[in-house]
């Protein structure tokens, strides 16, 4: 249950970190890249049953 909520929350944060707004165009892929790595780690932990 907690793992599913955490994955959904991270997916929403990942979509929100994509630099599409004018003020965030200079950010590059840093915010979405970091959240993407965290999402991959959480998914791997959930699949291994450790979350």
pLDDT for the residue 43: 81
Entry pTM? 0.57
DSSP category for residue 19: -
Domain boundaries, the chain: 2-48
The predicted-structure confidence for 1-51, as pLDDT tens digits, reads as follows: 777 888 788 778 777 766 666 776 677 777 767 777 887 888 888 888 876
User: For residues 12 and 5, what is the distance between their CA atoms, to the nearest angstrom?
Assistant: 11
Decide: 30 and 39 in contact? Cβ < 8 Å: no
pLDDT for the residue 46: 80
Q: How far is CA 39 from CA 17, 21, 31, 47, in A?
A: 13, 22, 12, 12
């Amino acid at each position: 249950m907690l793992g599913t909520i955490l994955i959904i929350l991270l997916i929403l944060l990942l979509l929100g970190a994509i630099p599409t707004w004018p003020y965030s165009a200079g950010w590059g892929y840093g915010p979405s890249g970091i959240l993407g790595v965290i999402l991959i780690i959480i998914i791997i932990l959930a699949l291994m049953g450790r979350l």
